[in-house]
């Protein structure tokens, strides 16, 4: 589904990604862990071209999305993104947030978009909030709306950049639950998170990134219980 080959990303003289290669098959849930500043967000943002890497290849199915002639907007329709800060559109109701892109980008009819929107809201447990505005919702509810909004484009892959880091503890669970449900439905997911419980329970694979390189990757049990690399051990000892 996604194949990344030797990805390099620099900000000025700072080389943030220094040659990342990995493959994510359809339906796999990958959790990316690593210290602050190690390049996790940058890696994720390269996958939907919010950042343009200087070197390397990214394949989405057979499409090399870094090729000059790729339609960036079309790629992004297939790659949903959920942000730490939710980034809901504050001037629109919850339902309008979800309907906007299907209507304006995919040219779906209002009726179809509305039906799908309501269906997605049911799925994330927020049917009764369709007409509410984002600021009337709790953080956890906002993030669930953001997930529904991304799903409305029927992406092939969902990227999550620390989706629960801005949430109060009691709201983290409800968001993780929605994500877990999504994983069970077979969605391909790349999740940057510090929620090790989620990683152990839901991830098919854990990738540990340090200083812009994949230091170690493997099954969650392997990484958490029996890390091979010294740097992985050090990192885990700090967070567990």
Partner 1 sequence: MQGLEFSIVLQNWRYLFDGAVITVQVSAFAVAAGLIIGSVVGLARVSTVRLVRAVASVYVEFIRGTPLLVQILLIWFGLPSLGIRIESRFVGGVIALSINSGAYVAEIVRSGIQSIDKGQMEAARSLGMNYTSAMRFVILPQAFRRIIPPLVNEFIMLIKDSSLLAFIGMMELTKRAQNIQARTFNYFELYLAIAVIYFMITFALSKVAGYIEGRTRIHD
Residues that bind partner 1 (CB under 8 A): 48, 50, 73-74, 76-77, 79-81, 83, 85, 87-91, 100-101, 104-106, 133, 135, 146, 149-150, 153
Report the Cα 80 to chain-centroid distance in Å: 7
Q: Which residues pair with 201 in a beta bridge?
A: none
- The position carrying tokens 């070197």 is 55
**Given the structure tokens 């209507």, which residue do they identify?**
103
Number of other CB atoms surrounding residue 197 within 10 Å: 11
x/- binding map, residues 147-186, to Mg ion, per CB under 5 A? ----------------------------------------
Q: How far is the CB of 149 from partner 1 (least distance, A)?
A: 7
User: Is residue 48 part of the contact set for ligand ATP (CB under 6 A)?
Assistant: no
Distances in whole angstroms, Cα of residue 212 to Cα of each of 9, 33, 95, 120, 219: 9, 12, 38, 36, 21
Identity of the residue, 126 or 209, whose beta carbon is nearer to Mg ion in the bound complex:
209
Smaller CB separation from ligand ATP, 32 or 124:
32
Q: Is residue 34 left, alpha or beta, with left meaning phi > 0 and alpha meaning psi from -120 to 50?
A: left
Min dist CB 92 to ligand ATP, Å, is: 27
**Calpha distance 215→234 (Å, rounded):** 12
* Footprint (CB under 5 A) of Mg ion, residues 26-65: 41
Question: Which is it for the CA torsion 99, 183, 190, 135, positive or negative?
Answer: positive
Q: Which stretch binds ligand ATP (CB under 6 A): 8-16, 69-77, 122-130, 226-234?
A: 8-16
Instruction: Give the binding site for Mg ion (CB under 5 A).
Output: 41
Instruction: Give the binding site for ligand ATP (CB under 6 A).
Output: 11, 14, 16, 34, 36-42
């Amino acid at each position: 589904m996604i194949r990344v080959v030797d990805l390099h990303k620099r900000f000025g003289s700072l080389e943030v990604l220094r040659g990342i290669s990995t493959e994510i098959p359809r339906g796999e849930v990958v959790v990316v862990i690593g210290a602050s500043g190690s390049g996790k967000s940058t890696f994720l943002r390269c996958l939907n071209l919010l950042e343009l890497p200087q070197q390397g290849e990214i394949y989405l199915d057979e499409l090399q999305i870094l090729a000059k002639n790729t339609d960036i907007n079309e790629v992004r329709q297939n790659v949903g993104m959920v942000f730490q800060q939710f980034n809901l559109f504050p001037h629109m109701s919850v339902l309008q947030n979800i309907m906007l892109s299907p209507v304006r980008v995919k040219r779906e009819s209002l009726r179809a978009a509305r039906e799908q929107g309501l269906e997605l809201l049911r799925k994330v447990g927020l049917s009764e909030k369709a007409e509410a505005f984002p600021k009337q919702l709790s953080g956890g509810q906002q993030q669930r709306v953001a997930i529904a909004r991304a799903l409305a484009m029927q992406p092939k892959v969902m990227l999550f950049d620390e989706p629960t880091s801005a949430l109060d503890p009691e709201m983290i669970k409800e968001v993780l639950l929605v994500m877990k449900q999504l994983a069970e439905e077979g969605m391909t997911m790349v999740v940057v998170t510090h929620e090790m419980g989620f990683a152990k329970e839901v991830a098919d694979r854990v990738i540990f990134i340090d200083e812009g390189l994949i230091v170690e990757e493997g099954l969650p049990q392997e990484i958490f219980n029996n890390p091979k690399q010294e740097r992985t051990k050090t990192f885990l000892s700090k967070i567990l």
